[in-house]
Amino acid sequence: GAVVSQHPSRVICKSGTSVKIECRSLDFQATTMFWYRQFPKQSLMLMATSNEGSKATYEQGVEKDKFLINHASLTLSTLTVTSAHPEDSSFYICSVSDYGYTFGSGTRLTVV
């Protein structure tokens, strides 16, 4: 499967600021990527499907204006958490739709 690199692995930001998380597919041209959110000791919840060159598709209940997704190339999708608040603190994971699904190593976001 693909090799997926997610950066940063950890980030701390102040409440009200924005933070960008990158997901790179290093050896696979990914037309579709996914973004998940995982709360402590819980499962992964799909936030949105990122499609190269078009708008992302958000799951019900996910604020598209807060979680901005850009998939400008076949190797990079970004998730920007805008005006972050403590309740946005979570573990965010991306995945690439290759011959199955390959996941990045995740980003721990802490908003203080």
Partner 1 sequence: AQSVTQPDIHITVSEGASLELRCNYSYGATPYLFWYVQSPGQGLQLLLKYFSGDTLVQGIKGFEAEFKRSQSSFNLRKPSVHWSDAAEYFCALEYGGATNKLIFGTGTLLAVQP
Residue 75: closest CA among 15, 31, 111, 18 = 31
C-alpha span between 61 and 59 (Å, rounded): 6
Is residue 6 a contact point for partner 1 (CB under 8 A)? Answer: yes
DSSP lists the bridge partners of residue 110 as 12
C-alpha span between 100 and 81 (Å, rounded): 27
Stretch that binds partner 1, among 12-20, 60-68, 81-89, 103-111 (CB under 8 A): 103-111
CB of 46 to partner 1, least distance (A): 6
Q: How many helices (H) and strands (E) does the chain have?
A: 0, 11
CB of 16 to partner 1, least distance (A): 26
Is residue 89 a contact point for partner 1 (CB under 8 A)? Answer: no
Give the binding site for partner 1 (CB under 8 A): 1, 4, 6, 32, 34, 41-44, 46, 49, 51, 57, 91, 93, 95, 97, 100-106, 108
